[in-house]
Amino acid sequence: MLVQDYAKALYLLHYDEMETDALLCKLDVLLIKKGHQRLKPAILRSLIRMFEEKRQRTTPVLTVAKKEHVALFDTSIRAALTELRATESPLIEIDEAITGGYVLKSAGLQIDNTYKTKLLNLYRSITN
Q: How confident is the model at residue 38 (pLDDT cuts 50, 70, 90)?
A: very high
Q: Delimit the domains of the chain by residue range.
A: 2-56, 59-127
Cα distances (angstroms) measured from residue 110 to each of 18, 33, 61, 73, 75: 33, 47, 9, 16, 17
pLDDT category at 99 given cuts 50, 70, 90 is confident
- Inform me whether the pLDDT recorded for 18 exceeds 90: no
Distance CA(101)–CA(64), nearest Å, equals 7
pTM of the model: 0.57
Rounded Cα distance, 12 and 110, in Å: 27
**Whose CA is closest to 10, among 22, 1, 114, 60?**
22
Measuring CA to CA, how many Å separate 80 from each of 9, 56, 75?
35, 18, 9
